[in-house]
């Protein structure tokens, strides 16, 4: 297969170096991500929507503010920034704005240019031929081994006059597909010979049925949230993101409420729908989606009656050559970030259950998307993402069949972290199964980023503000885990200095939900993420009632003051890439993170 990739790339590489123009290569892939091959030339009448990211020269200042307002020991804890303050901190330099405007004008592009709220992203819709001229490149239709298609290139260039005024341009080298992290089960998991009751420190018990079928009641019992009643009138809110035409059905939500949250059913509770970039949410029952239904039913079911929002972001599923679609954007994260950052009051907790292999996402794109998440965190928004469902890479422990190879000419075996789970500005949630004991799910994603180092302050920051309690806040937790790893087993498989994930975990199997009018059961970190988000919304409820600000960016709090509010998970592992993956151990580990929440303990710690 590798030789086929090289053969497919030869004409493209030759074409790339035949240009006599003064352009300089801005980004180039040494090889396409695994599984992709050139299918055909891109259609001559194809249109593309290019997104141009301008540098954010003061992003380091935003990061400083984010950490200051997120440290529970800092004097500014909870003093979140306004939308306008965030925009001022990430705005591009006027020189960059002028340089890009002149470049676009030189190509006849002066109107119909979209601008992000801070002006750090520009959007233009142009013929593909114009994009190839501007970027000195050649697009092709690429086909994946599973049959999907994208219109992409493996390199692009920029004139010297604008080279330093652009961080990245997409869609160019982004082959990511951002898939939902769930799988269907025809029936719940049945387990024999497990204890029927859990005796928590609180004295609560858990119904034995929760070992085979997960419900809203089970989650409240397992995580010690039984009896807590949130309010609808304290300004609290929770949101769920939807991509790739995944639709959340309100009739199915009502069935879940009738089944598990009768108080919500009694008032016919539903969510607010917000369309992003023309996204829709079809209520045709036959088009109801597993992912969107799972996310909304459990995030909103756990947090009722807190105000809830479902976002549907338009972004074409993979390109279909036979349809000759006029545009092929397919990068909804940026579209959603642009939209939500343009509004002054986004939901206080937002859950996302879509991810992809980090190596399929250009590092430049991953960093800019992650910077967008930081902007939301600085405004007091908690971002929850799923850790992924393929263990440390492909979920395959068999060395003979594993597919975790580096995406370069070395073709070496390595673990494959997921994105956006690897972004340091989100809280990443892994999965568990059963209780007494609660065990890490074998599929749960976990590991170490190759793009992002573990969070730590810069020396320039330390000269400006007092030393925070969470300086390098992950290091202490992660170092203990790394110290006990057998070096010979893991050498070269992961980046030991990378941002470590997951941060926490929650139940992730046999979730009883409704799809197209019928009961079904789901498994995956797509279940654990919205469940944890629902519990965070309950904590925000308590803080708002007490006159305190919302929790916002959680990680500095989790690794310090709130660490004692989690149940340590010490059983399980996440195989993949021909290995058994990492093992759950005492303390933080790259399978379960800090563990699963004890809402009762966390409630006392944050109020």
The separation between CA 285 and the C-alpha centre of its own chain, rounded to angstroms, equals 27
179-180: strand order across its sheet: 179-180, 354-357, 418-419
Give the pair of three-digit tokens for residue 11: 């004409």
Q: What is the pLDDT of residues 3-44, one digit of tens each?
A: 333 333 444 444 444 444 588 999 999 888 888 999 999 987
Q: What is the mean pLDDT of residues 435-441?
A: 91
pLDDT of 529 higher than 60: yes
Could you confirm whether 406 is annotated as catalytic?
A: no
Residue 3: per-residue pLDDT:
35
Residue 469 pLDDT class (50, 70, 90 cuts): very low
- Asked if 392 contacts 577 with a C-beta cutoff of 8 angstroms, the reply is yes
Q: Report the C-alpha gap between 48 and 144 in whole angstroms.
A: 20
Catalytic residue (one of 312, 526, 528, 560)? 526
Q: 315 φ, ψ to 5°?
A: -170, 120
Between CA 305 and CA 311, with CA 310 as vertex, the angle to 5 degrees is 155
Q: What is the pLDDT of residue 461?
A: 41
Q: Which string of DSSP letters, residue by residue, matches 297-308? A: HHHHHHHTTSEE
Instruction: Please write the tens of the pLDDT for every residue from 299-353.
Output: 999 999 999 999 999 876 556 666 555 565 556 778 899 999 999 899 999 999 9
Q: Work out the percent of the chain whose per-residue pLDDT is above 90.
A: 70
pLDDT in tens, 59-118: 999 999 999 999 998 999 999 999 999 999 999 999 999 999 999 999 999 888 999 999
Concerning whether 518 is annotated as a catalytic residue, the answer is: no
Is 526 in the active site? yes
Structure confidence by residue, pLDDT tens digits, 209-238: 898 899 999 999 999 999 999 999 999 999
545 in helix, strand or coil? helix
pLDDT value of residue 5: 35
Residues 33 and 365: beta-carbon distance below 8 Å = no
Where do the structural domains in the chain lie, given as residue ranges? 2-56+91-174, 180-241+252-304+326-606
Q: Judge whether residue 511 has pLDDT over 90.
A: yes
CATH number corresponding to 180-241+252-304+326-606: 3.40.50.200
Model confidence pLDDT, tens digit, residues 440-460 = 999 999 999 999 999 864 434
Q: How confident is the model at residue 184 (pLDDT cuts 50, 70, 90)?
A: low
Question: Averaged over 486-508, what is the pLDDT?
Answer: 93
One of 87, 213, 245, 291 is an active-site residue; which one? 291
| Local confidence band at 464 (pLDDT 50, 70, 90 cut-offs) | very low
Binding-site residue set for Ca(2+): 568-569, 587, 589
Model-wide pTM > 0.85: yes
Which residue among the candidates 295, 338, 359, 394 is catalytic per the annotation? Answer: 295
* pLDDT score at 373: 96
């Amino acid at each position: 297969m590798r030789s086929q990739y090289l053969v497919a790339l030869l004409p493209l590489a030759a074409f790339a170096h035949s240009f006599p123009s003064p352009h300089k290569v801005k980004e180039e892939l040494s090889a396409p991500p695994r599984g992709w091959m050139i299918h055909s030339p891109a259609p001559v009448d194809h249109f593309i929507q290019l997104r141009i990211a301008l540098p954010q020269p003061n992003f380091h200042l935003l990061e400083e503010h984010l950490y200051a307002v997120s440290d529970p020991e800092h004097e500014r804890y909870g003093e979140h920034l306004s939308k306008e303050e965030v925009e001022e901190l990430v705005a591009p330099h006027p020189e960059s704005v002028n340089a890009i405007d002149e470049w676009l004008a030189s190509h006849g592009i002066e109107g119909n240019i979209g601008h992000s709220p801070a002006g750090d992203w520009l959007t233009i819709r142009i013929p593909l031929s114009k994009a190839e001229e501007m970027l000195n490149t050649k697009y092709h239709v690429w086909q994946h081994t599973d049959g999907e298609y994208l219109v992409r290139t493996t390199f692009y260039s920029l004139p010297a006059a604008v080279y330093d005024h652009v961080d990245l341009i997409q869609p160019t080298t982004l082959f990511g597909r951002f898939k939902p992290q769930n799988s269907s089960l025809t029936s719940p998991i049945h387990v024999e010979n497990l204890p029927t009751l859990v005796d928590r420190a609180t004295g609560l018990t858990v119904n034995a049925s929760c070992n085979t079928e997960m419900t809203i009641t089970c989650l409240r019992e397992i995580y010690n949230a039984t009896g807590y009643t949130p309010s609808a009138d304290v300004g609290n809110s929770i949101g769920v993101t939807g991509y790739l035409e995944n639709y959340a059905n309100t009739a199915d939500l009502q069935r879940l409420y009738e089944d598990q949250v009768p108080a919500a059913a009694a008032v016919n509770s539903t969510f607010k729908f917000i369309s992003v970039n023309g996204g829709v949410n079809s209520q045709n029952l036959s088009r109801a989606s597993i992912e969107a239904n799972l996310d909304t039913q459990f995030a909103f079911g756990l947090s009722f009656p807190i105000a809830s929002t479902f976002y549907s972001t338009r972004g074409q599923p993979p390109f279909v050559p036979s349809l000759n679609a006029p545009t092929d954007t397919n990068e909804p994260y940026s579209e959603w970030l642009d939209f939500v950052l343009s509004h002054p009051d986004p939901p206080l907790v937002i859950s996302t259950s879509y991810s992809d292999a980090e190596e399929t996402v250009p590092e430049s794109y991953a960093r800019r998307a992650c910077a967008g998440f930081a902007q939301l965190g600085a405004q007091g928004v908690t971002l929850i993402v799923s850790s992924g469902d393929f263990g440390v890479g492909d979920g395959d422990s068999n060395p003979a069949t594993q597919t975790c190879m580096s995406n370069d000419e070395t073709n070496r075996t390595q673990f494959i972290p997921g994105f956006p789970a690897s972004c340091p500005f989100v809280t990443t949630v892994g999965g568990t199964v059963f209780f007494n004991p609660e065990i890490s799910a074998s599929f749960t994603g976990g590991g170490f980023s190759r793009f992002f180092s573990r969070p730590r302050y810069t020396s320039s920051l330390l000269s400006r503000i007092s030393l925070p309690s969470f300086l390098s806040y992950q290091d202490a937790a992660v170092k203990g885990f790394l110290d006990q790893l057998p070096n010979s087993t893991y050498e070269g498989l992961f980046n030991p200095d990378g941002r470590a994930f997951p941060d926490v975990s929650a139940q992730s199997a046999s979730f009883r939900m409704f799809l197209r009018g019928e009961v079904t059961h789901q498994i995956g970190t797509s279940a654990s993420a919205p469940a944890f988000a629902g519990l965070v919304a309950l904590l925000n409820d308590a803080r708002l009632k007490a006159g305190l600000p919302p929790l916002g960016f959680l990680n500095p709090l989790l690794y310090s003051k709130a660490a004692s509010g989690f149940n340590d998970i010490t059983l399980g592992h996440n195989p993949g890439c021909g290995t058994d993956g990492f093992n759950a151990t005492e303390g933080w580990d790259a399978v379960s993170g800090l563990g699963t929440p004890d809402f009762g303990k966390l409630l006392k710690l944050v109020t």
